[in-house]
A and B are shown apart, each in its own frame.
Chain A
Amino acid sequence: MDIKAVIALINQMQADGVVERYAIGGAVGATFYLEPVATLDVDIFVSFESAPGSLMVSPQRIYDYLTARGGAVEREYIVIAGWPVQFLPPGTPLVEEALQEADVKDVDGTAARVLTAEHLAAIALQTGRAKDKARLLQFVEAGVLDIARFRAILARHGLGAAWQKFEQQFLSDAS
């Protein structure tokens, strides 16, 4: 099990032109800013290229590329170096922006494109499951967010009311 090997292979896949760009999200992405938390899979956001003559976007090229290099398809995952990896298209304008503005981080000499802390936090707010709220709280408590940037993202994507509700529910001293 080696998550660095996953990152190296995804980099190679991008260099070989299979995906235009990628960025690590989810719990693995959050680990670049917070303490590590147990997770079972790796979420990679990618911009897919449409198949020629098709309006449908397809991850087939990714599957073909990775299975030719030892990856194994298991349901909606591809298992690489012991890690189930899920490739996700940017399903909302927020995730599209997050993918565009992802940061490049250095992992022991290997570059890794990772969603920014502010976008990860905004996506957690938008997704809104219990574990997303817990992650958003971690971001706030750790003090790693650029608050002005975070608030600008929330404003651009209509998340102001959701943030207000979250603040009242979890960050209000009065409660």
Chain B
Amino acid sequence: MSFELQKILESKRALRRDLATRPIGEKLQLLDALRERELAIRGRAAGAAQADAGVLREEPVPSAPGPNER
């Protein structure tokens, strides 16, 4: 593992090349899995938004200056 940017970029390119050259059957299975994950993430995000909509949130009351701060 390295924190050198050039090495990081090269390893990303290598990973993409590796994925691109995998057999097409395997790549299509990856598409199936990626879609399922995408839908799960969107479902969770939509669920969280719905939950948020039903929650009454109180704004914190601005604290009054203490007796010594006046």
Q: Chain A: residues with CB nearer than 8 A to chain B? A: 1-4, 27-28, 31-40, 83, 105-108, 142, 144
Asked if A105 meets B35 with Cβ closer than 8 Å, knowing A35-B19, A36-B19, A36-B30, the reply is no
Q: Please, which residue of chain A has its CB at the minimum distance from the CB of B38?
A: A38
Return chain A residues, CB-CB under 8 Å to B36.
1
- Chain B interface, DSSP helix/strand/loop, else mixed: helix
14 A–B contacts from the bound complex (CB under 8 Å): A3-B32, A27-B31, A31-B28, A32-B24, A32-B27, A33-B20, A35-B19, A38-B38, A106-B24, A107-B24, A107-B25, A108-B25, A142-B16, A144-B20
CA distance A131 to B34 in the complex (A): 17
Q: Tell me, rounded to whole Å, the shortest Cβ–Cβ distance linking A93 to chain B.
A: 29
> In residues 12-70 of chain B, which contact A (Cβ within 8 Å)?
16-17, 19-20, 24-25, 27-28, 30-32, 34-39
Asked whether, in the complex, the Cβ of B35 is within 8 Å of the Cβ of A1, the reply is yes
Asked whether, in the complex, the Cβ of B28 is within 8 Å of the Cβ of A35, the reply is no
Q: Chain B: residues with CB nearer than 8 A to chain A? A: 16-17, 19-20, 24-25, 27-28, 30-32, 34-39
Q: Tell me, rounded to whole Å, the shortest Cβ–Cβ distance linking B13 to chain A.
A: 8
Return chain B residues, CB-CB under 8 Å to A4.
25, 28
Which residue from A2, A3, A38 sits with its C-beta under 8 Å from B37?
A38
